[in-house]
Structure 1
């Protein structure tokens, strides 16, 4: 869809630190991560909400989200992950996306207060993307 930044990333027209690009979706680092290694997973087609995702696409899309949850945890030595999705309300980009956020005990994330931790530079962001991509199963 014209003007959608996530569609631009999927099309390769907008730069991103891509972790994986496959038929079930594209995953890339969030530019304003809650914690470093925060990944966004999007379907390749422009959809706004989970209710717009066709039923036959659910297994592949959520298998990709699941694989990324494992990869984020193992690549970053996280204690777990927080996997979340907003539908319409609170979507900063109106394109369906799932957050996969690395978590550690005592990391300070409480409720829905999402502090942001920027990457020091592009090299650091690329290193995180590469680590997570290497851990994908």
Structure 2
């Protein structure tokens, strides 16, 4: 397989591994956005979160939870980011959760700053998506 994350998991590519569990592993990002930028990934190759089993999902987010305190201790605030699919900005097609320590001086903004504008939906459009998404 040509997946860089799968190669890290199999130790074909070195990484600064911080911790691993039966289904997940976390390590320092090789191209960090800030000091202490961590990636948490499932050991099995999945492109999207919904492709993972319940046990893999639980394990992944349990490790995110554990690592959050460690990452948060760097600046006191952490961005959690998941790009779930190519059009969502996912560059490597293997599920990965970014834990990025944030500070006032890092030049990044809130999620709404990633988009050129916000939508102004009509009541019927809001109702449409409400009915589409409710469980």
Within 5 Å, give how 1:56-135 maps onto structure 2.
Answer: 56-74=55-73, 76=74, 78-89=75-86, 90-111=89-110
Name the SS for the 2:68 alignment partner.
helix
* Offset from partner CA, 1:37-63 (integer Å, 9 cap, x none): 100111010011111111232222101
> RCO (CA 8 Å, sep 6+): is it higher in 1 or 2?
1
1:51 partnered with 2:37 = no
RMSD over equivalenced CA pairs, Å: 1.7
What residue in structure 2 maps to residue 40 of structure 1? 39
Calculate the TM-score normalised by the size of structure 1: 0.74
Q: Cα distance, 1:71 vs. partner?
A: 0.9
Q: Cα distance, 1:25 vs. partner?
A: 0.7
CA contact (8 A) 1:42 1:96 kept: yes
CA contact (8 A) 1:18 1:27 kept: yes
Gaps of 5+ in 2: 115-135
CA contact (8 A) 1:48 1:94 kept: yes
